[in-house]
């Protein structure tokens, strides 16, 4: 549940001291990402990881070097907290570096699942945090984790380097996908990661170009719900960007900052009277009807934006927080078909789909 809530927030949701260019370090520009930087100095790389405050909020710096005594070589043996990082690792053909994960029962990545089945990847999580004895026995070079909230690897385990990953802070879908470059540097597959990211950009841009003209844009709500409240992301967030690029108009496009908008039932009722489509991210077994989408609330289920325009991403059946991050063009295609069904009548959904009738 901890990981699902953190990822839901991410889905709908003064720079630290930089290396000195005079000393030979040069910044390799990012294209879309804002939560990490890569700097180069000959064969050496320095990774900067940023928090919610952006490039004024450096949470970690890593020197990846085969020679510098203060740094470390590209990693060959790692443990991973959460499954969201695994598709990045597998995409650059470095799944063999993973020796431990948190939540083996919930892993979707086929290569890691196979490694778990044959005993090559072990469970490192417990109900109370990390299994420190198991972690020490596996002897990883590093553990990959997020730096905020209740981190599984906090406090740190002696002798195990902790690598912070903040890909979920990226607002642009291609910004999240660009974290391939971070993993490429970290795991010694930089060229492969760069090439793969460029291919993702090309596919996404080609798909976005197929969205209908702006005069046919439906008005769209998207969010999540928890304990009787609804949470909707601001403009320029991950989902708001996808909605816009898919040919929709996000209902809260006037909210450019300030975090997620919190709505009570009355607020949601008002919104559903204005929008054409009402979308949610949820975790639900079986079919998702209009009633399921709104948690059984009868005053909402009959609204046209939900009964006929409702759509959802279900983390129980689709890898929304993992593989979808590396396939933003497929997410975009799903949304295009939902917003413009007559333009894309043959589309088969992968990550987002209309409510079941």
Beta-strand relationship, 98-101 and 78-80: parallel
Element (H, E) at 311: strand 310-314
User: Are 153 and 194 in the same domain?
Assistant: yes
User: Are 249 and 329 in the same domain?
Assistant: yes
Please report the pLDDT score of residue 340 as a whole number: 96
**Cβ distance 245 to 237 under 8 Å?**
no
Backbone angles phi, psi at 218, to 5 degrees: -75, 155
Name the domain boundary from 185, 204, 223. Answer: 204
Q: Residue 218: which CATH number?
A: 3.40.50.1980
User: Are 222 and 327 in the same domain?
Assistant: yes
Range of the structural domain that residue 142 is part of: 2-204
**Cβ distance 27 to 131 under 8 Å?**
no
Please report the pLDDT score of residue 1 as a whole number: 47
Please report the pLDDT score of residue 37 as a whole number: 98
Question: How many whole angstroms separate alpha carbon 176 and alpha carbon 11?
Answer: 11
Q: What is the pTM of this model?
A: 0.90
| pLDDT per residue rounded down to tens, the chain (357 residues) | 445 544 554 555 534 445 556 578 999 999 999 999 999 999 999 999 999 988 899 999 999 998 877 789 999 999 999 889 999 999 999 999 999 999 999 999 999 999 999 999 999 998 888 888 999 999 999 999 988 754 555 566 778 899 999 999 999 999 999 999 999 999 999 999 999 999 999 999 999 999 998 777 999 999 998 888 899 999 989 999 999 999 999 999 987 666 889 999 999 999 999 999 999 999 999 899 999 999 889 999 999 999 999 999 999 999 999 999 999 999 999 999 999 999 999 999 999 999 987
Please report the pLDDT score of residue 334 as a whole number: 99
Q: Helix axis angle, 328-339 relative to 238-245, nearest 10°?
A: 60
Name the domain boundary from 187, 204, 221. Answer: 204
User: Are 231 and 200 in the same domain?
Assistant: no
Question: 291-300: b or e for each residue (b if 16 or more CB lie within 10 Å)?
Answer: bbbbeebeeb
For the chain, helix, strand, coil in percent to 5 are 35, 25, 45
Cα-Cα-Cα-Cα torsion 108, 109, 110, 111, nearest 10 degrees, comes to -140
Please report the pLDDT score of residue 256 as a whole number: 67
């Amino acid at each position: 549940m901890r990981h699902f809530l953190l990822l839901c927030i991410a889905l709908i949701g003064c720079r630290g001291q930089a290396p000195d260019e005079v000393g030979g370090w040069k910044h390799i520009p990012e294209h879309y990402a804002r939560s990490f930087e890569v700097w180069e100095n000959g064969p050496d790389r320095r990774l900067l990881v940023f928090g919610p405050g952006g490039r004024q909020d450096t949470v970690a710096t890593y020197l990846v070097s085969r020679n510098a005594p203060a740094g470390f070589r590209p990693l060959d043996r790692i443990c991973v907290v959460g499954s969201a990082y695994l598709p990045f690792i597998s995409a650059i053909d470095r799944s063999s570096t993973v020796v431990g994960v948190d939540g083996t029962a919930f892993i979707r990545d086929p290569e890691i699942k196979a490694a778990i089945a044959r005993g090559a990847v072990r469970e490192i999580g417990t109900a109370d945090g990390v299994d420190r004895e198991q972690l020490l026995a596996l002897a990883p070079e590093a553990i990959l984790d997020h730096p905020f909230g209740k981190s599984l690897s906090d406090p740190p385990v002696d002798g195990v380097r902790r690598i912070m990953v903040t890909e979920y802070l990226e607002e642009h879908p291609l910004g999240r996908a660009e974290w391939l470059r971070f993993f490429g540097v970290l795991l010694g597959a930089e060229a492969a990661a760069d090439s793969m990211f460029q291919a993702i950009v090309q596919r996404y841009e080609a798909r976005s170009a197929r969205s209908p003209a702006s005069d046919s844009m439906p008005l769209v709500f998207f969010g999540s719900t928890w304990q009787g409240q609804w949470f909707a992301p601001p403009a320029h967030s991950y989902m708001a960007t996808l909605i816009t690029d898919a040919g929709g108009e996000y209902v809260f496009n006037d909210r450019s900052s300030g975090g997620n908008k919190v709505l009570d039932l009355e607020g949601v009722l008002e919104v559903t009277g204005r929008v054409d489509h009402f979308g949610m991210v949820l975790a639900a077994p079986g079919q998702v009807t209009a009633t399921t989408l709104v948690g059984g609330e009868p005053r909402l289920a009959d609204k046209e934006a939900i009964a006929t325009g409702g759509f959802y991403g279900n983390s129980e059946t689709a890898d929304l927080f993992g593989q979808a991050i590396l396939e933003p063009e497929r997410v975009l295609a799903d949304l295009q078909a939902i917003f413009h069904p007559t333009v894309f009548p043959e589309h088969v959904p992968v990550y987002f789909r209309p409510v079941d009738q």
